[in-house]
Structure 1
Amino acid sequence: METPMLHLIAPSRDGKPGMIAGDACALSLLRAALDEAIESGATAVELFSSDGEPYELLIAAPANMWNVHTAYAGEADPVRSGRERLTMEDLQHRQSQRRIQRAPA
């Protein structure tokens, strides 16, 4: 099987765009994982950076994104609105808990 290589760049606060760059294999895996997250609320997929290092990409689809912290690349001193109470780390923790609960005994 082809090694699925995917790179992610978050948008910056100064208006620089975010970007997803990947080979066809990685983009197909990402598409399937997105479909699964839409259906189940969360999932994960193993991908690789172009130096061959594997990483797990967690995909969360919370019911309410309005209270999730904005995530800008290179943000040194984040400013949050009052509604942004849920951090990306909180979402990651929730994803991990779901996977533990779904794991076969």
Structure 2
Amino acid sequence: MRFTFANERTFLAWSRTALALLITGLAIVQLLPPFPGLPGARRLLALPLIVLGTALPSGAYIDWRRNQRALRQGLPLPRSPLPRIVVMVITSVAVAAAVLAMNPD
């Protein structure tokens, strides 16, 4: 039973992460001042975060369901691609932000 609760907490953590990604993407578009001479730069940073935040809950649900099935059948838990995907997107956005921030005014 406690493993089922841990699986559910993991699903909820992914859901919170998705919400944070969505909010961050929207905040970038709405609150970050424009980059001089770079129209659309805010959208370039925000769009990957918004897309990931939109897709992440579906992936989290699929993982939750696969893990529940494995727990009930006494099988090893399957590996999840979600951590790798989240790290790649956030790293890419961070690198893009650093490049944009170094742009001379």
TM-score (norm 1): 0.34
Larger helix proportion of the pair: 2
TM-score (norm 2): 0.34
Q: Which has the bigger relative contact order, CA under 8 A and spacing at least 6? A: 2
Larger strand proportion of the pair: 1
